[in-house]
């Protein structure tokens, strides 16, 4: 029954795109984030629905959609350069078979990130895409949050819709994304137009935020706790009453402490002694190996180049004998360990040129969102109130991602690439709106600025 319902919903989504081609873009967002073909076990998994939605989204825009407002920006060009560089490195990868397997999904995620902003030419489209992304991720987050609240969490023990360790279904990735979308959820409680921000929307939004905060608890992902800390710091920037914000936050933390499981305390306790944790010790050893590898292979070794690593390190082991504790160092040999960092993932796989391109893409996004935030926050027009807060939400989400990416190999995470697509679309929209206003002031045109909602999803 579940499989039939999933297939029916996906089919309805795709059929709606026949009348309004932009819906196919939203359908691809939904399918790529949730992966319903993995949840279903018969009819849904029997069809390549992700490929169908991907082709429909591109063909619908190319053949039927209006191109008014579509612009190819510098960040899209940088993404294209990185995509081409990844293709070249895959052809000469150290491990051709494994590299080809990763390339099979990376190219699609990167290509969609380049194409995605071209379709987001109005406020309604930008908002609609952001809403689908948040609600689709929320399907996983709410399910995991309920299981956590019911006491069903634990490191590598919190089960989702599928028994899969990829995409958003990987625990640390989900914890990072769950915290990263909180600023976007808050934006919808004030500026959403698809669903007017009444008490029902706000109740759902605040409940979803609570579920997001439960994900690091349920997954016991240490990265998630760091992301929560960064979110609190970032929210101080927007808080009008910072002392009240800090006081309420501290009280909520104190109230929540007694309800956290002991395993959570034990797992988080390793943050202040990473050398005593095998996972953390392995990461440091892999990073050191990657730096050495990059000196010998400055252009990178292609996808999954980490498979050639092998290293030995000393691991402290605490032993208890009655009330006496002793620490002994044991030599541990490991090999073919993943990078556990997007930064070292890029360095090892794409070398210094690839890492430079990736960092340029990230830094340019932070700079552009900051410019929009500063340039639009004091505007008084009725149609100019939502841009600056959305830029802040997207910037905060990216900063939280970059913190999580320090400890996870998520350089090509599709959800984050979609978030970058939203940033590009908002930057293009605001730049065109400014250009239009300047022309009006100079008397070169007499029509109003870019449409806010008209013809947002329909073909011309």
pLDDT of 422-445, one tens digit each? 999 999 999 988 877 777 766 665
Residues in contact with 373: Cβ distance below 8 Å, sequence separation at least 6, in sequence order:
388, 391, 392, 395
In a domain, 204, yes or no: yes
Q: Using CB atoms within 10 Å of the CB of residue 100, give its burial: 0 to 12 exposed, 13 to 18 middle, 19+ buried.
A: middle
Highest mean pLDDT among 157-171, 277-291, 329-343, 371-385: 371-385
**319-336 residues labelled b (16+ CB within 10 A) or e (exposed):** eeeeeeeeeeeeeeebee
Q: What was the pLDDT predicted at 2? A: 72
Here the tokens at position 243 are: 């002392």
- Name the nearest CA neighbour of 175 among 102, 122, 112, 225: 225
Could you tell me if 394 and 185 are in contact, meaning their C-beta atoms sit under 8 angstroms apart?
no
Q: Which of 305, 335, 365 is the last residue of a domain?
A: 335
Angle value at C-alpha 300, between 297 and 303, nearest 5 degrees: 140
Here the tokens at position 177 are: 């994304």
Please tell me whether residues 418 and 306 are part of one structural domain: no
Q: What was the pLDDT predicted at 312? A: 77
Higher-confidence residue of 446 and 227: namely 227
Please tell me whether residues 153 and 126 are part of one structural domain: yes
In a domain, 217, yes or no: yes
Q: What was the pLDDT predicted at 3? A: 76
Please tell me whether residues 163 and 295 are part of one structural domain: no
pLDDT of 20-38, one tens digit each? 999 999 999 999 999 888 8
Higher-confidence residue of 285 and 135: namely 135
Domain hosting residue 201, numbered range = 66-267+341-441
Could you tell me if 139 and 34 are in contact, meaning their C-beta atoms sit under 8 angstroms apart?
yes
99-103, 241-245, 300-304: least confidently modelled range: 241-245
Please tell me whether residues 244 and 361 are part of one structural domain: yes
Q: What was the pLDDT predicted at 110? A: 96
pLDDT above 50 for 383: yes
In a domain, 73, yes or no: yes
Residues in contact with 171: Cβ distance below 8 Å, sequence separation at least 6, in sequence order:
155, 156, 158, 219, 220, 221
Please tell me whether residues 166 and 227 are part of one structural domain: yes
**Considering the chain, what is the average pLDDT of its residues?**
84
In a domain, 228, yes or no: yes
Residue 123: which pLDDT band, with cuts at 50, 70 and 90? very high
pLDDT of 177-201, one tens digit each? 999 999 999 999 999 999 999 999 9
- Percent of the chain residues topping a pLDDT of 70: 82
Could you tell me if 307 and 336 are in contact, meaning their C-beta atoms sit under 8 angstroms apart?
yes
43-52, 286-295, 317-326, 448-457: least confidently modelled range: 448-457
Could you tell me if 348 and 290 are in contact, meaning their C-beta atoms sit under 8 angstroms apart?
yes
Quote the CA–CA distance of 295 and 152 in Å, as a whole number. Answer: 45
Please tell me whether residues 262 and 280 are part of one structural domain: no
pLDDT above 50 for 248: yes
Q: Using CB atoms within 10 Å of the CB of residue 460, give its burial: 0 to 12 exposed, 13 to 18 middle, 19+ buried.
A: exposed
pLDDT above 70 for 71: yes
State the residue for tokens 């029997």. Answer: 46
Please tell me whether residues 228 and 354 are part of one structural domain: yes
pLDDT above 60 for 100: yes
Please tell me whether residues 329 and 363 are part of one structural domain: no
**Total domain count, the chain:** 2
Q: Which of 287, 303, 335 is the last residue of a domain?
A: 335
Higher-confidence residue of 153 and 225: namely 225
DSSP notation for 327-364: EEEEEEEEES----SHHHHHHHHHHHHHHHHHHHHHHH
Q: Which of 335, 359, 376 is the last residue of a domain?
A: 335
At residue 35, the 3 state secondary structure works out as coil
Angle value at C-alpha 239, between 234 and 245, nearest 5 degrees: 95
Higher-confidence residue of 393 and 164: namely 393
The dihedral of CA 347, 348, 354, 359: what is its sign? negative
Please tell me whether residues 299 and 357 are part of one structural domain: no
Please tell me whether residues 85 and 212 are part of one structural domain: yes
DSSP notation for 122-187: SHHHHHHHHHHHHHHHHHHHHHHHHHHHTT---TTT---SSS--SGGGSHHHHHHHHHHTHHHHHH
Please tell me whether residues 230 and 348 are part of one structural domain: yes
Quote the CA–CA distance of 407 and 400 in Å, as a whole number. Answer: 12
118-132, 143-157, 165-179: least confidently modelled range: 143-157
In a domain, 15, yes or no: no
At residue 206, the 3 state secondary structure works out as helix
Higher-confidence residue of 266 and 221: namely 221
In a domain, 223, yes or no: yes
The dihedral of CA 333, 339, 344, 345: what is its sign? positive
Quote the CA–CA distance of 9 and 130 in Å, as a whole number. Answer: 19
Residues in contact with 321: Cβ distance below 8 Å, sequence separation at least 6, in sequence order:
none
DSSP notation for 207-257: HHHHHHHHHHHHHT-HHHHHHHHHHHHHHHHH-SSHHHHHHHHHHHHHHHG
Mean pLDDT of 322-347: 80
106-115, 382-391, 392-401: least confidently modelled range: 382-391
In a domain, 37, yes or no: no
3-7, 126-130, 240-244, 441-445: least confidently modelled range: 441-445
Please tell me whether residues 331 and 207 are part of one structural domain: no
pLDDT of 72-88, one tens digit each? 999 999 999 999 999 99
Q: What was the pLDDT predicted at 9? A: 87
In a domain, 140, yes or no: yes
């Amino acid at each position: 029954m579940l499989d039939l319902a999933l297939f029916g919903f996906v089919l309805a989504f795709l059929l709606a795109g026949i009348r309004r081609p932009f819906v196919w873009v939203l359908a691809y967002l939904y399918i790529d984030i949730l992966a319903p073909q993995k949840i279903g076990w018969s009819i849904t998994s029997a069809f390549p629905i992700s490929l169908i939605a991907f082709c429909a989204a591109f063909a619908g825009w190319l053949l039927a959609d209006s191109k008014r407002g579509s612009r190819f920006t510098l960040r899209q060009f940088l993404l294209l350069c990185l995509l081409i560089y990844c293709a070249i490195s895959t052809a000469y990868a150290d491990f051709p078979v494994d590299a080809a397997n990763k390339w099979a999904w990376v190219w699609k995620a990167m290509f969609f990130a380049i194409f995605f902003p071209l379709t987001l030419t109005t406020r309604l489209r930008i908002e609609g895409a952001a809403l689908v992304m948040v609600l689709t991720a929320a399907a996983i987050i709410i399910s995991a949050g309920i299981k956590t609240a019911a006491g069903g969490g634990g490191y590598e023990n919190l089960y989702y819709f599928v028994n899969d360790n990829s995409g958003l279904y990987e625990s640390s990735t989900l914890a990072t994304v769950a915290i990263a979308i909180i600023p976007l959820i808050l934006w919808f409680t004030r500026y959403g137009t698809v669903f007017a921000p009444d008490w029902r929307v706000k109740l759902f939004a605040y409940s979803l935020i609570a579920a997001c905060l439960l994900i690091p608890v349920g997954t016991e992902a240490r990265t998630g706790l760091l992301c929560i800390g960064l979110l609190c710091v970032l929210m101080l920037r927007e808080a009008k009453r910072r002392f009240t914000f800090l006081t309420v936050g501290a009280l909520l933390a104190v109230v929540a402490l007694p309800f956290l499981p002991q395993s959570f305390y034990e797992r988080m306790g390793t943050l202040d002694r990473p050398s005593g944790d095998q996972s953390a010790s392995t990461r440091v050893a892999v990073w050191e190996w990657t730096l050495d590898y990059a000196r010998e292979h400055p252009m990178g070794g292609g996808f999954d180049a980490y498979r050639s690593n092998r290293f030995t390190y000393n691991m402290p082991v605490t032993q208890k004998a009655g009330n006496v504790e002793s620490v002994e160092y044991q030599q541990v040999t490991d090999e073919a360990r993943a990078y556990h960092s997007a930064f070292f993932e890029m360095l090892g796989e794409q070398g210094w040129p690839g890492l430079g391109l990736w960092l340029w893409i990230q830094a340019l996004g932070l700079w552009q969102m900051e410019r929009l935030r500063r340039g639009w926050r004091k505007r008084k027009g009725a149609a100019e109130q939502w841009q600056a807060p959305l830029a802040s939400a997207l910037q905060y989400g990216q900063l939280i991602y970059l913190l999580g990416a320090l400890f996870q190999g998520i350089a090509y995470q599709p959800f984050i690439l979609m978030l970058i697509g939203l940033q590009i679309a908002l930057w293009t929209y605001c730049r065109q709106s400014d250009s239009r206003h300047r022309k009006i002031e100079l008397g070169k045109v007499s029509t109003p600025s870019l449409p806010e909602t008209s013809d947002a999803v329909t073909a011309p």
